[in-house]
Amino acid sequence: MKIVLQNVTKKFPSRSKGVREDVVAVRDFSFEVPDGQLIGLLGPSGCGKSTTLNLLCGLQKPTSGRIFFGDDDVTALPAEKRGVGFVFQSYALYPHLTVLQNILFPLENLKGKDRLSKEAMREKAYEAARLVQIDELMDRKPSELSGGQQQRVAIARALVKRPRVLLLDEPLSNLDARLRLQTREEIRRIQRETKITTVFVTHDQEEAMSISDMIVVMKSGVIQQIGKPQEVYDNPVNLFVAKFLGTPPINVFSGRIDGGRLMIGGDAVLAVPGLDDQEVWVGVRPEGFVLDDNGPLCCNFSGVEVMGRDISVVSTNAACENAAIRAIISAESRVDTQKKTVRFSLNPGKVFIFDRETEARIPFESI
């Protein structure tokens, strides 16, 4: 089931005293989720992710704009008629019901011709439970389950009616790091198996990047960029997106264009012919630094960090906004830890230039 948002805006009356302007939680959203894909809504807290999900499931109505599931305009359709499964961050399981009863719950609520026989309901509940591998736990109460198991029950409950659309609101944030990793792969597997069009909300860029076919990066209710995770990482449209994606984060320098050269401090780091002289922001991905004794960018050497397979050279530079510059280099590289400074040349494909005022990306061709 394809999902289409057409110029969807959601405003809330301001709750702050003396502020008359509405809060625009979601501003003019237009995007399409192709049938059977998993899309990640990504952005910092308060950017409108949950509101978008609530609009999709029908818990809230847009102030303007329309929502389509396939060719059906569902904008005015009540939540229970939309055929969506919703998983909340808090799981929201019924504590007094067993796992089986929790999963059965949406089916028990079906009325009239939609109502299934007891046997058919049980069968569907077990089918959903097997999908998330909790069919051995059906007689337990939620309090007798681990966080990860509870989350699986919530997913099974969302899947039991075979929804047209699955909506997941920060489903992994209550899990510890290892379980988070495991469960996100699980969600990906289930989504691939069921081919249910899925919208997955998270503030964790790594999570969104690893599981999504496509990501929508949002900030303050405004879509910044939509694309495949790698495309967005490689081609951020603005400084916000560049900073939001990537671990370790992108290194941001205050720089300027001077006579077709990109300058950081006194160092001419790249030739950028054709760009006007101006102040800019320069973003360099950690993998964009190349250790080079004759390289143009000179930084103060702080140390070396080994993180599993990766080696980071940590340094500082007066023009850098980050407290420390992290350059990821190959494990074979030799670093002279006695020196006070370290020199780099830059891989132009990993360097982004942004307008100082608007923070929009300025494309360049390096030679």
- 4 makes contact, choosing from Mg ion, ligand ADP, none, with CB < 5 to 8 Å by partner type, with none
Using the minimum distance from each CB to ligand ADP, give the nearer residue, 68 or 88: 88
CB nearer to ligand ADP: pick between 23 and 268: 23
Does position 83 interact with ligand ADP (CB under 6 A)? The reply is no
- With CB under 6 A as the contact rule, the residue among 16, 45, 294, 338 that binds ligand ADP is 45
Spatial distance between the Cα atoms of 194 and 124, rounded to a whole number of angstroms: 14
102 binds, among Mg ion, ligand ADP, none (CB under 5 to 8 A by kind): none
The item of ligand ADP, Mg ion, none sharing an interface with residue 283, based on CB under 5 to 8 Å by kind, is none
Interface stretch with Mg ion, choices 42-50, 133-141, 224-232, 335-343 (CB under 5 A): 42-50
Q: How near is the Cβ of 218 to ligand ADP at its closest, in Å?
A: 7
Is 23 among the residues that bind ligand ADP (CB under 6 A)? Answer: yes
In angstroms, what CA-CA distances link 269 with 16, 252, 254, 278, 295? 48, 14, 13, 15, 8
By CB under 6 A, residue 49 contacts ligand ADP: yes
214 makes contact, choosing from Mg ion, ligand ADP, none, with CB < 5 to 8 Å by partner type, with: none
Distance of CA 121 to the CA centre of its chain: 35
Question: In the complex, what is the shortest distance from the CB of residue 90 to Mg ion, in angstroms, rounded to a whole number?
Answer: 11
Q: Residues 256-285: x/- map of binding to Mg ion (CB under 5 A)?
A: ------------------------------
Closer residue to ligand ADP in complex, CB, 201/211 = 201
**Total interface residues for ligand ADP by CB under 6 A:** 12
When the beta carbons of 218 and 263 are compared against ligand ADP, the nearer one is 218
Among 48, 85, 163, 229, binds ligand ADP (CB under 6 A): 48
Full 3-state SS string of the chain: CCEEEEEEEEEECCCCCCCCCCEEEEEEEEEEECCCCEEEEECCCCCCHHHHHHHHHCCCCCCEEEEEECCEECCCCCHHHCCEEEECCCCCCCCCCCHHHHHHHHHHCCCHHHCCCHHHHHHHHHHHHHHCCCCCCCCCCHHHCCHHHHHHHHHHHHHCCCCCEEEEECCCCCCCHHHHHHHHHHHHHHHHHHCCEEEEEECCHHHHHHHCCEEEEEECCEEEEEECHHHHHHCCCEHHHHHHCCCCCCEEEEEEEECCEEEECCEEEEECCCCCCEEEEEEECHHHEEECCCCCEEEEEEEEEEECCEEEEEEECCCECCCCEEEEECCCCCCCCCCCEEEEEECHHHEEEEECCCCEEECCCCC
State which of residues 1, 6, 9, 46 lies at the interface with ligand ADP (CB under 6 A): 46
Where does this chain touch Mg ion (CB under 5 A) — which range of 49-57, 283-291, 301-309, 324-332? Answer: 49-57
- Please choose, out of 44-52, 75-83, 123-131, 315-323, the segment that lies near Mg ion by the rule CB under 5 A: 44-52
Which of 3, 5, 8, 25 binds ligand ADP (CB under 6 A)? It is 25
Residue 22 engages ligand ADP in binding (rule: CB under 6 A) = no
Q: What are phi and psi of 212, to 5 degrees?
A: -90, 145
Q: Which does 70 bind (CB under 5 to 8 A by kind): Mg ion, ligand ADP, none?
A: none
Please report how close the Cβ of residue 42 comes to ligand ADP at its closest, in angstroms: 10
- Cross-strand pairs, 24: 11
To the nearest whole angstrom, how small is the minimum distance from the Cβ of residue 123 to ligand ADP? 36
Please pick, from the candidates 38, 42, 50, 65, the single residue that binds Mg ion as defined by CB under 5 A. Answer: 50
Give me the residues that bind ligand ADP (CB under 6 A), please: 12, 15, 23, 25, 43, 45-51
